[in-house]
Amino acid sequence: MVSVEIDGKKIEAEQGSMIIEVADAHGITIPRFCYHKKLSIAANCRMCLVEVDGVKKPLPACATPISDGMVVKTQSEFAQQSQKSVMEFLLINHPLDCPICDQGGECELQDVALEYGNDVSRFSEKKRAVVDEDLGPLIETEMTRCIHCTRCVRFGREVAGIRELGAVGRGEHMEISTFIEQSVDSEVSGNIIDLCPVGALTAKPSRYQARSWEMAQRDSVSPHDCIGANLHVHTLRNRVIRVVPKDNEAVNEVWLADRDRYSYEALEKSERLLKPMMKYNGEWKEVDWETALERTASKLNMMVQTDGADQIAAIAHPSSTTEEMYLLQKVMRGLGSNNIDHRLRTSDFAWQKFEPLHPELGVELSELENIDACLLIGANLRKEQPLASLRVRKATRYGSIASIGLYPVYHNFDIQHEIITDPETWLGQLAAITKYLYQNQGDSAKEQWADAMDLEGLEQLLEPVKVRDEHRDIAEMLLQGEKSSVILGASALEFSYAGHIRLMAKAVANLAGASYGFLPHGGNSVGAYLAGAIPHRGPAGADVEQDGQHIKDLFELGKKGYVLLKTEPGKESIIADKAKESLANADFVVSMTCHADDEAFEYADVILPVASFLETSGSYVNVNGLWQDFAAAVNAPAEAKPAWKVLRVLGNLLNLKNFDYVSAEDVRKEVKGRLSAVGDRIKPKWQCPENLPRDGYSPRPVNMYQIDGWLRRAPSLQDTALAQGREILKRPRLSPFHNIVGGV
């Protein structure tokens, strides 16, 4: 630590810190444009010039490290005159279009110019104009406003890992541009809008819709993945105008994936279901809520009495709120059925009894960037969990990453070891790594795992497995890391022998002393487990009298009645054709949906309009078990109701007990109360598989903009190259130690 003085304030700070970092940490404001706490230092705008005693010229605060005894003045006449001179140069070519600029009212250039700019420009020559770039359907450009801070360029190179923008030309001919007239296709491209300190880059879907001072700000949480990114929702007259990130270092830092940012479009630009609908003689007719709910309740009651409770089932989308899924399972179990599930993309349920209380990552999200070694199994983080991918990219600066998958993946980070294999040998790859780790453990280490693992069975299982150099390299990488992790992605979870994959991955993690976890589907799969939206456990992991049927059996064997919550199984299930066939053959189907073009109109009998994720209150639980609650940002349109209210009324009409909830918070308190009563009762178990099947298969990966109804109905996202399969694959430079191997 060294002692410095800034504007007369004595400060102790870490040696090597930049002046601007120390000033920010102690509430001292220094103007800046190119500096950003998450990006490298460029020092090209010079707006942060300050005076340092003993130095005859002003120094950039962002690029000047502190030293012991340094005296810095940010408000002296010398410093302010330097800053005003820089501002005058920055405004030489800037257009006077603030009245029409979307950035007006929240523009960093406006704010700084108000204090440091002159009222009259001395520049009398013609201003420079720049031709606008077409960066795609998400980002609007006005490049004449650009001040060349290069934040957008550095974001692509350093954070996103895909360099799509760069500076071309020199001097007054310099422009920020794509190199070969491409669009900007990164899955996190919208973050350059937040980074831009002027109006050069703005959001195209919300262009010219509102001024910043007109909008109200509401907080919410993204439902599209298990990260639970925090959102600021900007609204005007009960309309969502745009969505921007809310800072949360433990979750999403200051970033958002594009699907988190633009999915709100579906609220108004899709066909919304506005009134309850019932089918009469094959034709759909609008009815009132009382009629629709009474019809639903009477039909469910009748089916229980005539066919038995086992003939009804409920399917929820994993992005439904915890409160909605809790009430859905409470209705089903109140009727006597445990047939409830949310695992639309799971095909192997053989080992579900050995699962933990809820899906876990095994490491805090914020710690992903600090891991020394990581083995990714069947994971395409860029497309499945974009914000987690940004964290892992940071880890590659000092750590090592290996990957095992079924197909080549274009990561945004370097891979040290990669094995691309076919489904028939996938399990063998993990078994070979496990065997090497087992053979290189001392007796004391084996004794440590003797209670948790069946080592004798494991030894017999691994006996015929051959260990190759690539397996040894990955195993050694995990062993050498102080903070190692094994993480499963979507392909591993969707594999036909996913249970075997999990058990072998857990064995690798145990033997390597690494953390183990996986990234589940949907935004609230963890909440679904805690709420009891699974057939083999009740809320908080409570035992059930008799296990219900999992989703695969529900669709393959068929049921007479279904209750659907915010899901279109024909588009989201891993066995979509079977799902639609089963629903079409059912005697009664009720669907709670937001969309008037929902596939439920093909097979349902009653369709109930419910609120979207921005129109209801509730909570999501992310992969670290973090509860995040939120309130509605806008009201639902017409007669659409929050799904938890619909289920509450349905419970009352079915004469079920304890459905007298006043708010979503009441439901949440009940779930948390059950959790606190049960405690950490369920521990994950490891069971040695009897064999390593070689006839496995994995479904085709789902496009990241097709995973739920909101993304499918967001026009701007559907116009992107990622959605239409036009993405130009850009793979970063690989490590010289990289290898690609197939087969075992």
Place of tokens 């633009």: 262
Burial of 99 (0-12, 13-18, 19+ CB in 10 A): exposed
Same domain for 384 and 311? no
pLDDT at 741 over 60: no
451 with 477, same domain?
yes
Q: Is residue 660 a contact partner of residue 647, using CB atoms and an 8 Å limit?
A: no
pLDDT of residue 738: 36
Q: Are 220 and 251 in contact (CB under 8 A)?
A: no
Q: Are both 339 and 413 inside the same structural domain?
A: no
Would the pLDDT of 732 be above 60?
no
Is 679's pLDDT higher than 70? no
Contact 305, 627 (CB under 8 A): no
User: Could you tell me how far CA 166 lies from the centroid of its own chain?
Assistant: 27
Residue 433 has pLDDT above 70, yes or no: yes
Q: What is the mean pLDDT of residues 81-109?
A: 93
Q: Does residue 104 lie within any of the structural domains?
A: no
Same domain (yes/no): 316, 412: no
Question: Is the pLDDT reported for residue 445 higher than 90?
Answer: no
Closest CA to 712 of 634, 598, 620: 598
pLDDT at 454: 73
Q: What angle do CA 215, 220, 226 make, to 5 degrees?
A: 145
Q: What is the pLDDT of residue 739?
A: 37
Domain hosting residue 575, numbered range:
277-350+524-678
In a domain, 248, yes or no: no
Domain termination residue (choose one: 90, 113, 142): 90
Q: What does the mean pLDDT of the chain come to?
A: 92
Tell me the CATH number at 425: 3.40.228.10
User: Is residue 486 located within the same domain as residue 536?
Assistant: no
Residue 292 lies in a domain: yes
**In the 8-state DSSP scheme, what is residue 56?**
S
Angle between helices 498-512 and 469-480 (to 10 degrees): 60
How many domains are contained in the chain?
3
In angstroms, how far is the first alpha carbon of the chain from the final one? 54
Please name the helix (run of DSSP H) or strand (run of DSSP E) that holds residue 606, with its range, or none: strand 606-609
Same-domain check for residues 511 and 610: no
Task: Give domain status of residue 263, yes or no.
Answer: no
- The CATH code of the domain that includes 324 is 3.40.50.740
Tokens of 717: 């996202």
660 and 561 in a common domain? yes
Whether pLDDT at 681 is above 80: no
- Cα dist. 455→20, 364, 427, 451, 614 in Å? 56, 29, 18, 9, 50
Query: What integer pLDDT is reported at residue 450 of this predicted model?
Result: 64
Return the CATH number at 81. 3.10.20.740
Beta bridge partners of 621: 627
Region of poorest pLDDT, from 120-124, 518-522, 536-540? 120-124
Is 108 within a domain?
Answer: no
CB 523 within 8 A of CB 226: yes
Q: Is residue 687's pLDDT more than 90?
A: no
Task: Classify residue 191: in a domain, yes or no.
Answer: no
Q: Tokens 């506005």 label which residue?
A: 274
Confidence band, pLDDT 50/70/90 cuts, at residue 435: very high
Q: How far is CA 46 from its chain centroid? A: 36
Provide the pLDDT confidence category of residue 452 given band limits of 50, 70 and 90.
Answer: low
Using 50, 70 and 90 to split pLDDT, how confident is the model at 726?
A: confident
Q: Do residues 559 and 514 share a domain?
A: no
d(CA 115, CA 110): 9
Between 737 and 247, the more confident residue is: 247
Label each residue of 562-587 as H, E or C: EEEECCCHHHHCCCHHHHHHHHHHCC
Closest CA to 522 of 235, 222, 306, 93: 222
Average of per-residue pLDDT across 673-679: 81
595 and 464 belong to one structural domain: no
Give the whole-angstrom CA distance, residue 694 versus residue 496. 11
* Domain shared by 390 and 506, yes or no: yes
Task: Please state the rounded mean pLDDT for residues 185-212.
Answer: 95
Of 90, 109, 133, the one marking the end of a domain is 90
CA–CA gap between residue 678 and residue 357 (Å, rounded): 11
Last residue of a domain, one of 90, 115, 132: 90
The DSSP result for 169-180, as a single string, is S-GGG-EEEETT
Do 418 and 545 sit in the same domain of this protein?
A: no
- Tell me the three state secondary structure of residue 591: strand
Confidence of residue 382 (pLDDT cuts 50, 70, 90): very high
- Token pair for 692: 């390593």
Q: What ranges in 638-680 are assigned the alpha helix state H?
A: 643-653, 664-678
* Residues 481 and 581 both lie in one domain: no
Hey, what are 265's tokens?
């479009």
pLDDT at 270 over 70: yes
| C-alpha to C-alpha distance for 345 and 187, rounded to whole angstroms | 22
pLDDT at 169: 87
